[in-house]
Chain A
Amino acid sequence: KAGVTQTPRYLIKTRGQQVTLSCSPISGHRSVSWYQQTPGQGLQFLFEYFSETQRNKGNFPGRFSGRQFSNSRSEMNVSTLELGDSALYLCASSSGYTDSSGANVLTFGAGSRLTVL
């Protein structure tokens, strides 16, 4: 089955602009999580959506927002871009429930690499 698809893969923006990233989860998965990955900070959790509702949220400013649609596809938006927002943004999908082993497992997309100039 198809994996997690993130678009666009690469994009360049300038300070002050806004950006929208898209994530299509694995078919049947209802949970989508977003992470910011930078060389100095590793993977930082942004938020998680489950059935169109934000279920968990990390410690990011309000410039970072997201949403999930009824087909489980998710978008994240960053407004008023800053140089420090340059990063790889990773989306991960899961069923949102524990599996037969008791664990919830994340499947990641390839990421969207954002460069802010």
Chain B
Amino acid sequence: AQSVTQLGSHVSVSEGALVLLRCNYSSSVPPYLFWYVQYPNQGLQLLLKYTSAATLVKGINGFEAEFKKSETSFHLTKPSAHMSDAAEYFCAVTSNTGNQFYFGTGTSLTVIP
């Protein structure tokens, strides 16, 4: 069965610093992988998705993620953190049929001014 593990439930970075949020997946077949962001009192919003077209995926708000099969990882990065990036971030993988999503436990990002 598919699953994802997010390392670090809380990450703090200074404004302007590199953001790195970690996600490792477990899948018996090539997966579809996603990053979602949740702002306070809101639902989840799609940041980016990996669909095997390219290993480096660019998303909204300057985020990108790199698929590394050898490391079974799909870490999310942003070169320079902004205060507005403070939110909860979720990594997800879909089932073989693509109909069921498995979410990580989330990483709360704090940006320090």
Interface pair A103/B41, CB less than 8 Å apart: no
C-alpha gap A111/B39 in the complex (Å): 12
Interface size class of B (residues with CB under 8 A): 20 to 34
C-alpha gap A93/B70 in the complex (Å): 32
| Count of residues in A whose CB is under 8 Å from the partner chain | 28
B100 at the interface (CB under 8 A from A): yes
Which stretch (B21-29, B48-56, B61-69, B79-87) binds chain A? B48-56
At the interface, is chain B mostly helix, strand, loop or mixed?
loop
- B-side residues, CB < 8 A to A, are 32, 34, 36, 41-46, 49, 51-53, 90, 94-95, 98-106
14 additional contacts (CB under 8 A) given A104-B99, A106-B44: A4-B43, A35-B103, A41-B105, A42-B90, A42-B103, A45-B101, A90-B43, A92-B44, A98-B98, A101-B53, A102-B32, A106-B101, A108-B45, A110-B42
15 interchain pairs, CB-CB under 8 A = A6-B43, A42-B103, A42-B106, A45-B102, A45-B103, A56-B95, A90-B43, A90-B44, A96-B99, A101-B49, A102-B52, A103-B34, A104-B99, A108-B36, A110-B42
